[in-house]
A and B are shown apart, each in its own frame.
Chain A
Amino acid sequence: MEIKELTIKKFHEGLFSKDFSAVEATNAFFDYIEAKDKEIDAYLSIHKGQALANAKEVDSIIASGETLDVLAGTPLAIKDNILIEGLPATAGSKILKDYIASYDASVTNKLKQDRAIFLGKTNLDEFAMGSSTENSAYKITKNPHDLTRVPGGSSGGSAAAVASGMALGALGSDTGGSIRQPASFCGAVGLKPTYGAVSRYGLISMASSLDQIGTFAKISLVMEEAITELKNKGFKFKKITLPHTKYALSVYYIIMPAEVSTNLSRFDGIRYGAREKAKNLLDLYYENKGAGFGPESKRRIILGTFVLSAGYYDAYYAKAQKVRRLIKNDFDEAFKGVDVILTPVAPTPAFKIGEKTNNPLDMYLSDIFTIPVNLAGLPGISIPVKGREGRLPIGFQLIGKKWREADILGIGRVYEES
C-alpha cells in the first residue's frame, strides 16, 4: 500500500516500525502534490523546507529510541485561515495577500508540540464564506472525483487534499457546514466538534458564536478509541421532529453576517495586510475594504451592517437570536429521546463549478442540514456513504449531544467497519 493511502494510525505504526522514515514520507507527499495539485488546486502554498526540517527531527528522535505522539511525522494540510507563525495566512482574500502570520494558533501550536508535519496551507472561500470554494480570490479547487465539480466549501482545499491523498489529515473550520459539506462532496470524514471544544485563538474570525475548528481524515483517529465504548451496543432508530429548524437558514443568514460585519472591520489596512493609497484615514477605510474584499465578503458585510443598524436591529437581529434559542430547544427536546440524530449532510452531491455562483440564495441552501447544528453549538460529523464506487461521493451526518463527540465518532466507525 502506498504511504498516501494509509490511515493516520497505520502511518504511525509504519513510521515507528521503520517501514519508512518521516523524511521519506514527507518527500513522497511533496512529489505527489507536485504531480497532482496541478489539476486539483487544493493548496495555496506549500512549505517544503520547514516540513522536511521537522521531519528530520522526528526521524532523529525515533532513531534515539524515544517515544512520540501518534501524530508525530504525520503530513497534514492546514486551512489558510489558521495561523502558523512565519507562514502566509491569506484566508483566501486579497486583503491578506502578503500577510505573514505573527504567531501560532492554539491548534497549530499543539500540533507542533506533537511534531506533526505541515505540508502547506489550503484553499478556501474568502474568509471561509461560501459553500464551493469558488469565492477564493486565488484559485478554484476541483473535486478530486470529478474535476468539473466543486469540492464544497468553505474548507474545500482541505477536503480535496485529504480525499486525493495529498495529506493524511487536515484542519478546517466550520461555521455553518464548512467542514461537513466538503467532506460529503469529496468522500472524506469531517468532524465539527462541540462549539467551544477547540480553541479559536489564531483562527481568523468569521462569526464568533458559530466558528469551530475541526478535522478531516479518511478515517478519524479518535474513532478507533470511541469504538470500544459503543461496539457492543445495539442501535435503535426512531423518528424525531425539530419544528423550528425550517427557520435555521433565515436565522443563520442574519446572525452570521452580523458577526461577520463586525469581525471583518479589523481588516482596515492599519496594522497588517494590504494598504491602499488614501488621502486621509476615513478614505483609507473605504479604499482598503473596497479593493480588498471580494463580492461575497462585501455582500455579507452589507447584509450584516443592515440587520444591526438602528431601526432594523429588533426586527432582524434580536428576532433571529430568539428563534435561535427555539432551534436549540428543539434539539434539547429531541435528545431526551435519542442519543444521536442522523440526517443528510447536503441536499445534493457536488455540483458543477459555476452552477450556483450567480444565485447566492441557492448557494446558501447547500448548508441547510448543517447550519442548525452550529446554531445549537452541537458536534456533527460527515461520514461517506459506502458502496458509491463510480458515483459521486455523498455523506450522512451524525449529530451528537454537547461534548458527546465519542457517540458520533463511535457510530461512524461501526458503520465503516460493517
Chain B
Amino acid sequence: MDLKVDYIAKLARIKLDSHEEDKFAEDLGKILEHFKELQSVNTEGIAPMTGGTELKNIFRKDELDIRREVARDNLVNAFPDKEKDYLKVPPIFD
C-alpha cells in the first residue's frame, strides 16, 4: 500500500502539520490493511449499490415554495467577509 498522505492532503485542499501526516499514515495503514479482506469477496456480476434507496429521482414543478424560501438577510449576514452586501473573497491569483 502506497499511501502518500501529503499528496492526498493536497488533493483534499487541507493543511496538515508533519505530526498529523505521520499519525494519519500510521492509522490509515492499519485501516487499509483491514480493508484487504474485501479482495476475497466474489462480486462478479454484482451491481454497485450507489445510494441508500432504490428510488428513482422525481422532479417537482419549478415553482416558488414559500416554506423553503430562506431569508436573504440571514444568508448575507452569515458571510465571513463582505463589502456592502457583496460576498468578499481573497484574490484568486497572487
Which of A's residues lie within 8 Å of B, judged by CB? 85-86, 99-100, 102-103, 109, 195-196, 201, 208-210, 244, 247, 249-251, 253-254, 261, 265, 268-275, 278-287, 289-291, 293, 295, 298-299, 301-303, 305-306, 309, 316, 318-326, 328, 360-361, 377
Contacts and interface: CB of A to CB of B under 8 A. Distances in A.
Contacts, number: 160
Contacts of A325: 46-49
Contacts of A324: 48-49
Contact of B74 (A102, A109, A253): A102
Contact of B90 (A278, A305, A360): A278
B30 A290 contact: no
A361 B20 CA distance: 17
A272 B80 CA distance: 6
Q: How large is the interface on B (under 10, 10 to 19, 20 to 34, 35 or more residues)?
A: 35 or more
Nearest to A305: B12
Given A103-B74, A326-B43, A280 B8 contact: no
B38 A290 contact: no
B13 interface: yes
Nearest to A103: B70
Interface string B33-76: 01101110101001111111101000000000001101100110
Contacts of B50: 209, 321
A289 B15 contact: yes
Contacts of B28: 299, 302-303, 306
B80 A273 contact: yes
A321 B92 contact: no
Given A278-B90, A280-B93, A250 B74 contact: no
A301 B89 contact: no
Given A195-B53, A272-B78, A306-B8, A322 B48 contact: yes
A302 B43 contact: no
Given A301-B14, A302-B9, 17 more contacts: A102-B75, A209-B52, A249-B34, A253-B31, A272-B78, A275-B81, A279-B94, A281-B89, A282-B13, A289-B12, A290-B16, A298-B16, A299-B24, A299-B28, A306-B3, A321-B48, A322-B49
Nearest to A257: B31
A209 B55 CA distance: 12
A323 B38 contact: yes
Which 10 pairs across A and B sit closest by C-beta, in order of nearness? A290-B15, A321-B48, A275-B80, A102-B74, A322-B43, A285-B13, A272-B78, A195-B52, A325-B49, A289-B14
Contacts of B89: 270, 281, 284
A110 B33 CA distance: 45
A298 to B, nearest CB: 6
Contacts of A196: 52-53, 55
B70 A102 contact: yes
Nearest to B17: A290
Given A102-B74, A321-B50, A295 B20 contact: yes
27 contacts: A100-B74, A102-B71, A196-B53, A250-B38, A265-B12, A271-B78, A280-B90, A280-B94, A281-B89, A284-B89, A286-B13, A287-B15, A295-B23, A299-B24, A301-B12, A302-B24, A302-B28, A306-B28, A309-B8, A316-B35, A318-B48, A319-B38, A323-B43, A324-B48, A325-B47, A360-B27, A361-B30
